[in-house]
Amino acid sequence: MNIGNIELSAPLALAPMAGITDLPFRLICRRMGCGMTVSEMVSAKGLLYKNVKTTEMLRIDDGERPTAIQLFGSVPAELAEAARMVEASGADMIDFNMGCPVPKIVNNGEGSALMKNPQLAHDILAAMAKAVKIPVTVKFRAGWDDANRNAVEIARAVEAAGVSAVAVHGRT
């Protein structure tokens, strides 16, 4: 299986999980046969503000490759700059989070809240894809809520933006 120009040794990817998919956990999963790993969510703003803890989350070990760093945010220009920083850190891919339902994320218009704004989702991913040479992927949900299941619309928007792959968390 390939994502962009990256070949996976197995068609299994570690799902990004806040507070769980840190570097040691990713290494264990890779050794157990995972085809690629993905970091916990990394704040684009945290990177731009040069937050030490956030920057540390970009650390990658060669034993876990291929690996993606997952970014979150809601401002296209900030995410493009953060994507450049992630690429410069040595990541193989960038994954964008549109699935997190945590109130402190969605109240900022980030994570799954972006399901309510397909045009902004497109603009963010287009800015990121244009900013880097490595593949950009995205994880999103079936929709914001049961009355607004728009995964197909989002998939078409992000495909037009230039993403290399999507992962759909099949719930709202």
Q: Note if 29 is an active site residue.
A: no
Number of H helices, E strands in the chain: 7, 7
Number of Cβ atoms within 10 Å of the Cβ of 73:
27
Q: Count CA atoms closer than 13 A to 95's CA, side-chain side.
A: 30
CA-to-CA separations, 119 to 56, 57, 123, 155, in angstroms, rounded: 32, 29, 6, 12
Q: Count CA atoms closer than 13 A to 122's CA, side-chain side.
A: 12
Which residue in 85, 100, 127, 128 is the catalytic one? Answer: 100
Sequence letter at residue 90: G
Catalytic site residues? 100
